[in-house]
Structure 1
C-alpha cells in the first residue's frame, strides 16, 4: 500500500514537472513569436540644426562687351567660365552679311545726297523768284509814286488856276470851279497815298523771309549718322570681322550664339578683376530659419582650404521659387568665377525636455505619434504591450525630434522592433522574456 502511494506521489510529481516544463515551453514559444522591441526614455537635448549648401563663385563685378548693333555673328570663340586676356579673340561677324549692310548703307547715303541736292536746287530757284518779285515790287513802288505825284501836281496847278480866275470875277460859276478844283486836289492826294501804301506793302511782302523748313537739316543729320556707322562697318571689315578682348577677365555670361544678330544688349560679359569675387549660395526657406545675417559660417572652395566668415547678404532669390540667396565676399585674388564651393552653418537651437530619435517618430496624414511600451496582466502573467500616443513636434533635425504629449521622462519609447507592431499589441523588450 505504501509502495502504491509512493508511486502515485512520484507520478504526480512527474506530472507537475511535465506541466511546468510544458508551461515554460509554451511561454517560450509564445514569447518567441512576439515582436521584440527596443525602447528608451526621452532625453533632454538641444535640437541642433546644421545647414550645408553648395554654391558657385561669381564675379564681384561684370563688364558688358557690346558691339555694333545689327551685325550677324558668325561664331563665338569663348564660353562661360573661360579666362581671356587682352587681345584674345572673342567672336567673329558674318563678312558676307557685313558687306551687304555696307552696300545698303552706301545706297542710302547716295539717296539722301540726291534728295538733299534736289532740295537745295529748289531753294535756290525759290530765292531767285523772291529776288525777282522784290525787284518788281520796288520798281512798281517807284513808278506808282512818280505817277501819283504827277497827278497831285496837276491837281494843284488846276486849283491855282481856279484861284487866279476867281480873282478876276467871283461869280457863282467861278466859285463852283474853285471848289471842284480843291476837291480834286484832295482826292488826288488821297489816291496817291493809298497807291503808294499798297506798293510799299508789296515791297515789304517781297522782303519777308521764306518759311523755315527742317527737312534739309534732318536729312543732313541722317546722312551724317549713316556715314559714321558706315565708317565703323568698314573698320570691322578691315579687321576681317574679328573682335578681340580689350581687357582680361573671366567670361561670366554669353548672351548670343552663332547666326543671331547683335542687338542693344551685350554680346557677352567679363568679370571685373578689380572687384573681388563672391560665393553665391541658394538655400531653401526651411534652411533660412537657421542662417541669418552676420552669422558665422564655414566656407570651403573647391581645391582650397576652408575658412570662417560671416554672412553679409541674405535676400530672396529672383527666381521666384521661394529660395533665398546668400553672398559671401571673398578676398582679393581668391576664387575664380565658376568655381564651386560649400557653406556650412550650425544653429545650436533650443533645449527641449523630451527628445527622441527621428526614427521613433511616426506620421500619418497630419498626425504624429509614437509607440510606448506599457505593462499589463496577461494570460501568462505580467506582459508588455504597445500604446500609441499622439504627440506634437516642437522641432526636428536629421537625428532628433522634440515632442510633447501624454508622456513623461519615464515613458519608454519604442525605437526599433523586429516585427510590425500596433496599438494594443503584446511585445517583448530586448533582454527580457515575458
Structure 2
C-alpha cells in the first residue's frame, strides 16, 4: 500500500515538473516573440499620414522685374568715324544741345578725300557702261538682220526641194494609175472552182454511165446463158424419155421429137438472133461476166420442171412489170431523158435482176423437194413442155427489156461524150496576171518612196524654218534688264551725301550734341573706336512713362493673361500699385516676357521690383499636400496606408495607387475623385523609400 502511494506521489511530482518545464518553454517562446516583433517593428519605415480635405487650390504668381524706359531716342552718326572723346555716362541726365562725344577731325579729312576719289571712280564706271550699252544695241540690230536674211534663204531652198519632191510623187502616182487602168483578165476563184467542179462532174458522170453499161451487158449475158441452159436441159430430158419408151411409142415419140426439135431450133434461132443483136449493139466480149455467171448457169441446168411451174405466176408478173417499164422507156425521147429517169430505169432493171436471182434461189431450194417427189410421181410430159415454154418466154422478155435499157444507156453515153467539158487551164492567165502584179508592186514602191521623200522634205523644211525663226526670235529677244547705270547713279548720290555729312561734321569741329532732354540709357561706343551702323547712344524719352518688365514660366502663364491686372511693388516704395499687362510674348527660355506700363512720373529706368497676382482657383473634393503625390514615368502616384493580419499580429502596409491630377499649387494637389475615398489615409512622409506592398509603422 505504501509502495503504491509512493509511486503515485512520484508520478505526480513528475507531472508537476513537466508542467513547469512546459510553462517555462511557453514563457520563453512568448518572450522571443515579443523580442522578435520589437526587432521587426523597429526596422520598418515610419510614415506620416493624412486624409483628403476639401478646399480651394489657390495660385499665386510672384516674380521679380525691372523698370525700363517707356521709349528711347537713338543718337546716330555716320559709320566709320573714329571717336575722340565721350563726355557722358549711362544714367546721366542731359539736355538738348549738350555735347555727348566728339569725332577725330584728322580722320574726317581723310575720309572726305577717300569718298571724293570713290565718287570719281563711280562716275567713270557709269560713263563706260553707257557707251558699252550703245555698242551692244548696235550688235543686236545686226544679228537680227542676219537672222532674217538666213530665214529667207532657207525658205527658198526648202520650198524648191519640196516642189521637186511633189512633182516626183505626182509622176509616180500617174504611172501607177495608168497601170491600174490597163488591167488583165483574171478568173475569180469562185469561177475557177465552179469550172473545176463542172469538169469533175462531167468526168464522174461518164464513169457512172460506163459502169452502168458494163453492168447491163453482164446482166444480158447472164440471162442469155440461163436461156441456153434451159434449152439444153429440155433437149436432154427429151432424149432420155425416148430411150425409155423404145420403139413401141415411136410414132408419138417422133412427133414429140419433132416438136422438141422445132423448139430447140426456135430457141437456137432466138439465141442466135439475140447473140447477134448483142454482138451488134455491144461489139465487145464480156469475159468477166461469163465467169461470174457460170455458177448461175449450172444452177439453172439443175432446175426442176415442177419448180418452174410453181413460180410461173410470179415470173409472169415480173415479166409484165418489165414490159410496162420498157414501154415507158420507149415513150421517152431516147437519150434526151434526164439523169434521174435513167437512174430509175436502171434501178428497175436491177430490181428485176434481183427478183430473177431470188426466183432462181427459190427454184434451187424447191429442186431438192421436187426431186424427191419425182421419185414417187411422174408428171405428164405436156405440163413439162408448157413450163419450159413459159420460162423461155420470160427470159426472152427480160433479155428484150435489158437490151432496150442498154441502148438507152449507150445513147446517154453518146450524148455525154458529145457534150464535152474541157479541163480548165489558167497557166497563161496566171503568168500574165503575175507579171501585171509585179509591175504594180514596183510602181507602188516608187509611189511610197516618192511619198516618203516628199514627207521628209516637208519635215526638213518645217524644221529648218522653225530653227531660223528661233534664231530670229533669239536675236529679237530684249536684253536683260540691267540696272547697273541706276546703281552707279544711286551710289554716286549716296557718296555725295556722305561727303556732305563729313563736311558738316568738319564744320561742327567733330562735336555730336543731344537733340532732346533725357537720360543716357545705353552707350555703344568707346574712345578710339570707330562708329558702326547701330546707334552710338540711347537716350530715354522723358515724354513717355516708364514700363515694368518681368518674366514668368510656362506653368504660370495659365494664370496671367493679356490685359490682366497685377500688383507691382517697386523697391523703396511702401505700397504696391495696380497695373495692366500691356505686352505678352514668348521668350527663348520657354517662358513668357511681360511688360506693364507704369503711371506717369512713377519709377526710373533701372529700378527693381516685384509683380504678384493671386488666383483663387476651383473648389476640389480631394486635395492632399504636395508631399503625398510623386511623379514616375509621366504619371502621378500616392501611397495609401492599409492594415492586414500577419504572423505577429496586425501590421500595416502601403499600396501604390495611380491618380489623375486636376490642379496644384506650391502646397496642395487636387486629384480626380473615384480612385480613392475621402477617408483614405495617404502617406505624406516616410523615413525610408517605399515600395508596393511594403510593411510600415505609422507614427503615433
TM range (shorter): 0.5 to 0.7
Is 2:402 the counterpart of 1:392?
no
Write the distance in 2 (CA, Å) between the matches of 1:225 and 1:314: 39
Q: What does the per-residue CA deviation read over 1:63-114, in whole Å, with 9 as the maximum and x for residues that have no partner?
A: 22223455333454445444444555422223321121344567789x89xx
Is 2:288 the counterpart of 1:278?
no
Q: Alignment length, in residue pairs?
A: 323
Cα distance change on mapping 1:268 and 1:19 into 2, 3 Å? same
Write the distance in 2 (CA, Å) between the matches of 1:406 and 1:221: 79
Is 2:615 the counterpart of 1:347?
yes
Write the distance in 2 (CA, Å) between the matches of 1:78 and 1:295: 39
Is the partner of 1:28 in helix, strand or coil? helix
1:328 paired residue number: 596
1:17 paired residue number: 27
**8 Å contact from structure 1 (residues 386, 423) kept in 2:** yes
User: Which residue, out of 401, 424, 431, partners 2:693?
Assistant: 424
For the aligned residues, what is the CA RMSD?
A: 3.5
- Give 1:409 deviation, angstroms: 0.6
Residue range with higher mean Cα deviation, 223-232 or 337-346? 223-232
Write the distance in 2 (CA, Å) between the matches of 1:63 and 1:232: 22
Write the distance in 2 (CA, Å) between the matches of 1:60 and 1:222: 34
Write the distance in 2 (CA, Å) between the matches of 1:260 and 1:70: 5
Write the distance in 2 (CA, Å) between the matches of 1:12 and 1:230: 119
Is 2:31 the counterpart of 1:31?
no
1:214 paired residue number: none
Is 2:507 the counterpart of 1:235?
yes
User: Which residue, out of 239, 260, 268, partners 2:537?
Assistant: 268
| Bigger relative contact order, structure 1 or 2 (CA pairs below 8 A, ≥6 apart) | 2
Write the distance in 2 (CA, Å) between the matches of 1:248 and 1:92: 19
**8 Å contact from structure 1 (residues 372, 411) kept in 2:** yes
Show structure 2 runs of 5+ residues with no match.
1-8, 125-489
Cα distance change on mapping 1:221 and 1:82 into 2, 3 Å? closer
Residue range with higher mean Cα deviation, 62-71 or 73-82? 73-82
Write the distance in 1 (CA, Å) between the matches of 2:19 and 2:662: 66
**8 Å contact from structure 2 (residues 47, 687) kept in 1:** yes
Cα distance change on mapping 1:87 and 1:304 into 2, 3 Å? farther
Structure with the higher fraction of residues in strand conformation? 1
Write the distance in 2 (CA, Å) between the matches of 1:31 and 1:6: 37
**8 Å contact from structure 1 (residues 106, 230) kept in 2:** no
Cα distance change on mapping 1:358 and 1:79 into 2, 3 Å? farther
2:675 paired residue number: 406
User: Which residue, out of 360, 384, 397, partners 2:628?
Assistant: 360
Write the distance in 2 (CA, Å) between the matches of 1:421 and 1:373: 11
**8 Å contact from structure 1 (residues 45, 351) kept in 2:** yes
Write the distance in 1 (CA, Å) between the matches of 2:500 and 2:54: 79
Q: What does the per-residue CA deviation read over 1:289-332, in whole Å, with 9 as the maximum and x for residues that have no partner?
A: 11124433221212323413032414214x45543232222222
Write the distance in 1 (CA, Å) between the matches of 2:116 and 2:683: 88
**8 Å contact from structure 2 (residues 525, 537) kept in 1:** yes
1:250 paired residue number: 519
Write the distance in 1 (CA, Å) between the matches of 2:104 and 2:568: 46
1:71 paired residue number: 81
Q: What does the per-residue CA deviation read over 1:158-193, in whole Å, with 9 as the maximum and x for residues that have no partner?
A: xxxxxxxxxxxxxxxxxxxxxxxxxxxxxxxxxxxx
Is the partner of 1:333 in helix, strand or coil? coil
**8 Å contact from structure 2 (residues 505, 511) kept in 1:** no
Write the distance in 2 (CA, Å) between the matches of 1:108 and 1:22: 108
- Give 1:423 deviation, angstroms: 0.3
For 1:288-303, list aligned pairs within 5 A.
288-303=557-572
Larger radius of gyration: 2
2:405 paired residue number: none
Cα distance change on mapping 1:364 and 1:276 into 2, 3 Å? same
Write the distance in 2 (CA, Å) between the matches of 1:36 and 1:424: 15
Write the distance in 2 (CA, Å) between the matches of 1:35 and 1:8: 43
Cα distance change on mapping 1:269 and 1:363 into 2, 3 Å? same
Write the distance in 2 (CA, Å) between the matches of 1:358 and 1:79: 50
Write the distance in 2 (CA, Å) between the matches of 1:416 and 1:224: 80
Residue range with higher mean Cα deviation, 270-279 or 291-300? 291-300
